[in-house]
Structure 1
Amino acid sequence: MMNYIIYISCLVFMLGCQQPNSKKTDAHRMAEEKWSVRMADAVMCEYDSLVYYLNPRKVKWEYDYAFLGGAIDKLGNIDEKYSHYMEAYIDYFVRDDGSIATYKQQIYNIDRINPGKNLITLYKRTGKEKYKKAIEQLVKQMEEQPKTKSGGYWHKKVYPYQMWLDGIYMASPFLAQYAKEFNKPAWFDKVTFQIQLIYAKTKDESSGLLYHAWDESREQKWSNPDTGCSPHFWSRAMGWYVMAIVDVLDFLPENHEDRAKLVRILQETCDAIVKVRDGETGLWYQVLDQANREGNYLEGSGSAMFTYVFAKGANKGYLKPAFLALANESFNGMVEHLIANTPQGTIEMRDICGGCGLGGDPYRDGSFEYYITEKKVINDTKGVAPFILAAIELDR
């Protein structure tokens, strides 16, 4: 555990990570022993601004940075510095008139909607109009987002007639929260429709797992000519999807006609996810159902997302209590196999897939070989954020 001696030993290296003269309560000192706080502190000690996290990535309004910022913000009840970290990222982009630097509606990239959750948090917290105006910009995009003939949101304008599991997380929790906080109930129906549509289109009936994406047009090389689905079950894609459901349920009214349907989908999908869980480590493979194929590996982001969903789903009563025990086992597996100490006295998370997509240039064919050869990134946002969320949900 990170204790006082470790802090002293790395103070010189991490100037600014600690405030030696600040008074800490006993509760704060106890919190520093938690994995959620240790990981957040590791992020903030290495990068004093989330804007420049994992340089040399291009600075832009991005879904995964906001994802990490939102996770760290949940620790704001321990110390305001965690909330300030998220707020500083959002304020780097959101101008006083509510416009968002680097954001372009006309590309209709559904990934750019996810930071809207942080905007709602900040608007509720501060009442600043610039956040409300920025929120309305993102809502306007979704009002005009191109759709498949069956009504599903395109993932991006450059990916016509395609729905990706990732996209359900990028827009649905934000829109559900917007519907609740701004009294726009029509969005609830749109959100539940998208979740159910992609489930119907991507579900493999034999395993219960969901394929990464669906091409309604069947024009993509990666799409199955009969179903339109991509070839494989990517762990993080399914992680995005089940996280979307468990977070949407926070805002969906108890009496909404689709609420029970979403809970059932969550239950059925989590049952399928358990079946491909590695029994020894409690983790999940990059390609979920191909554990024995050479090159496949136990991947950090999908494992963290599933752990978070199992814990939250059980805590909320959507999943059976046994899922809480599974979540704790999987969290232990992450700590043992994916978390390492650094020479600077912090921690890092390993074996996180940097990113996977489909199509584009160079063309990504969705093959097994493609998924296992994409670069692994230490402390990638998509792994660190759900690790923090899982730790919070498990009070670890």
Structure 2
Amino acid sequence: MKKNIKQGYSVLVLLICTMTFTSCKVTSQETASKDIVISKDMKWSDKMALTIMKRHPQAFMIDDAKTPKWDYVHGLVLHSMEELYKKNPDSRYPVYIKGYVDALVQNDGIIKSYDLDNYNIDMVVSGRLLFKIYENTKEEKYLKALQMLRKQLTEQPRTASGGFWHKKIYPNQMWLDGLYMGEPFYAEYTTVFENGKELDDVAKQFELIQKHATDSKTGLLYHGWDESKQMAWANKETGTSPNFWSRALGWYAMALVDVLDYFPKQHPKQKELVGYLNSVSEALAKYQDKSGLWYQVTDKGNKEGNYLEASGSSMFAYAFAKGANKGYLPSKYKKLANKAFDGLTKQLIKVDADGSITLTEACAVAGLGGSPYRDGSYEYYVKERKKDNDPKATGPFILAALELNR
């Protein structure tokens, strides 16, 4: 009897300690969140990063997630904070980033919620966060996670011409989004671990989408390309989807400026990629609104229902600014990037009483096919829901602010 009482007491003590620890942990996070001060004289990059941290005390909470999930939006926003840390070494940024990675990467290197067999290229981009953490810690689990994502690219289904399928559930299709989701990680991995031997394959992905998705009249690229031409949304002659979506074009432009970080000037494909960047930038410049922003459906600014959209505009501002800073684009694109950033801050940003900021008019989601079926029509894109401070807008906003020193 005494033994049972003693065991019961021990369990009770353990339960109280656990509850106390959990309570303290939550209270600590809440306190840390409340302690974040966002002042008027801060740069926009820090204002946005600290706003995100204030509203989402743990990084997995970005995009209002309830539980940790390996997801591309977290990879995008936290990558922007990685870049921010290089300019402003505030120790809160790497701690926040590592908190996300450690909530998902287990001791054996397995990534929680990630399933390689889905061959979803969206899942690769968050792997960019692992390079610096592995470099700093040399912990085997981060290397194993990197190798798992590299394995996905090795096995990723491809079109007959060699392009990565966007997902296993979308056979024979390349989407502009996928270039950002896969290629910057691929380029960095092959540079760091493989002496750059697969850079030609990285370039090939851009060659294929540039060849098959570019519209000869506007120079813009369509959101998706179905090599089989079997999808209902696909043009039966070209395989392309029907419209130009600014965020898809933004993913593509960002992918180009980011992969070019890993292509030495003497690499035979470097000049080709710079050419693609100039081509799409020249086309996009023609559709920049007088406000500095771009419309959700890029080329239909005057059509009813269209609106000036935050994520695509932020992505273009970043790609233009980085492209000009790196010498890939003429200097005039830096001016266009500043004009775009002015449009974002003057028209789409709201400042709260505590100094935190909200970027409005961001498309929450858009795609092709699937269920319910997304037909790529004009009406489809303009009717998709919007979300304030959508991470697909806030991440590029931080990156643009950094390139513009704002």
The residue identity in structure 1 corresponding to 2:148 is Q
Which runs of 5 or more structure 2 residues have no equivalent in the other structure? 1-29
Which runs of 5 or more structure 1 residues have no equivalent in the other structure? 1-13, 23-27
Q: Which residue of 1 aligns with 2:10?
A: none
The residue identity in structure 2 corresponding to 1:50 is A
The residue identity in structure 1 corresponding to 2:43 is K
Q: Which residue of 1 aligns with 2:294?
A: 284
Aligned partners of 1:75 and 1:83 also within 8 Å = no
Q: Distance in 1 between matches of 2:94 and 2:68?
A: 20
Query: The residue matched to 1:377 in structure 2 has which SS?
Result: coil
- Among 186, 190, 195, the alignment partner of 1:179 is 190
Between the two proteins, the alignment pairs up a number of residues equal to: 375
Query: The residue matched to 1:348 in structure 2 has which SS?
Result: strand
- CA change 1:115–1:337 in 2 (3 A) is same
Q: Give the C-alpha shift of residue 255 in structure 1.
A: 1.5
Aligned partners of 1:61 and 1:101 also within 8 Å = yes
**Once the two structures are aligned, what percentage of the paired residues are identical?**
46
Q: Distance in 2 between matches of 1:125 and 1:190?
A: 28
Q: Distance in 2 between matches of 1:210 and 1:264?
A: 14
Does 1:111 find its partner at 2:122?
Answer: yes
Q: Which residue of 2 aligns with 1:35?
A: 44
- CA change 1:151–1:317 in 2 (3 A) is same
Q: Distance in 2 between matches of 1:54 and 1:164?
A: 22
- Among 328, 353, 360, the alignment partner of 1:350 is 360
Does 1:376 find its partner at 2:383?
Answer: no
Aligned partners of 2:183 and 2:255 also within 8 Å = yes
Q: Which residue of 1 aligns with 2:60?
A: 51
Q: Distance in 2 between matches of 1:141 and 1:78?
A: 33
- CA change 1:18–1:55 in 2 (3 A) is closer
Q: Distance in 2 between matches of 1:57 and 1:158?
A: 26
Q: Give the C-alpha shift of residue 78 in structure 1.
A: 2.7
Aligned partners of 1:107 and 1:156 also within 8 Å = yes
Structural mapping, 1:254-273, within 5 Å = 254-273=265-284
Aligned partners of 1:161 and 1:217 also within 8 Å = yes
Q: Which residue of 2 aligns with 1:9?
A: none
Q: Distance in 2 between matches of 1:55 and 1:246?
A: 29
- Superimposed CA distance per residue, residues 265-301 of structure 1 (whole angstroms, 9 cap, x where no aligned partner): 100110000001102x100000000001000000000
Query: The residue matched to 2:191 in structure 1 has which SS?
Result: helix
TM-score for the superposition, normalised by structure 1: 0.92
Query: The residue matched to 2:350 in structure 1 has which SS?
Result: strand
Q: Distance in 2 between matches of 1:159 and 1:200?
A: 20
Query: The residue matched to 2:289 in structure 1 has which SS?
Result: coil
The residue identity in structure 2 corresponding to 1:307 is A
Structural mapping, 1:17-96, within 5 Å = 17=33, 19=35, 33-55=42-64, 59-76=68-85, 77-96=88-107
- Superimposed CA distance per residue, residues 343-376 of structure 1 (whole angstroms, 9 cap, x where no aligned partner): 4431110001001000001000000000001110
Q: Which residue of 2 aligns with 1:163?
A: 174
Q: Which residue of 1 aligns with 2:14?
A: none
Aligned partners of 2:68 and 2:104 also within 8 Å = no
Q: Which residue of 2 aligns with 1:6?
A: none
Q: Give the C-alpha shift of residue 116 in structure 1.
A: 1.1
The residue identity in structure 1 corresponding to 2:51 is A
The residue identity in structure 1 corresponding to 2:50 is D
Q: Which residue of 2 aligns with 1:188?
A: 199
Aligned partners of 1:17 and 1:41 also within 8 Å = no
Q: Give the C-alpha shift of residue 186 in structure 1.
A: 2.3
Aligned partners of 1:103 and 1:112 also within 8 Å = yes
The residue identity in structure 2 corresponding to 1:324 is K
Q: Which residue of 2 aligns with 1:10?
A: none
Q: Give the C-alpha shift of residue 19 in structure 1.
A: 4.8
Aligned partners of 1:348 and 1:378 also within 8 Å = yes
- Superimposed CA distance per residue, residues 108-160 of structure 1 (whole angstroms, 9 cap, x where no aligned partner): 00000001111112112222211111000000010000001111100000000
Q: Which residue of 1 aligns with 2:377?
A: 367
- Higher mean C-alpha displacement, 262-271 vs 340-349: 340-349
The residue identity in structure 1 corresponding to 2:78 is G
Q: Which residue of 1 aligns with 2:27?
A: none
Structural mapping, 1:227-246, within 5 Å = 227-246=238-257
Aligned partners of 1:73 and 1:85 also within 8 Å = no
Q: Give the C-alpha shift of residue 15 in structure 1.
A: 3.8
Query: The residue matched to 1:231 in structure 2 has which SS?
Result: coil
Aligned partners of 2:213 and 2:222 also within 8 Å = yes
Q: Distance in 2 between matches of 1:259 and 1:312?
A: 16
Aligned partners of 1:283 and 1:334 also within 8 Å = yes
- Among 134, 139, 151, the alignment partner of 2:162 is 151
Q: Give the C-alpha shift of residue 100 in structure 1.
A: 0.4
Q: Which residue of 2 aligns with 1:7?
A: none
Q: Give the C-alpha shift of residue 377 in structure 1.
A: 0.4
Alignment RMSD: 1.7
Aligned partners of 1:314 and 1:324 also within 8 Å = yes
* Bigger Rg over Cα: 2
Q: Which residue of 2 aligns with 1:336?
A: 346
Q: Which residue of 2 aligns with 1:16?
A: 32
The residue identity in structure 1 corresponding to 2:288 is R
Q: Distance in 2 between matches of 1:75 and 1:154?
A: 32
- Superimposed CA distance per residue, residues 208-252 of structure 1 (whole angstroms, 9 cap, x where no aligned partner): 000000001111110000000000000000000011010001011
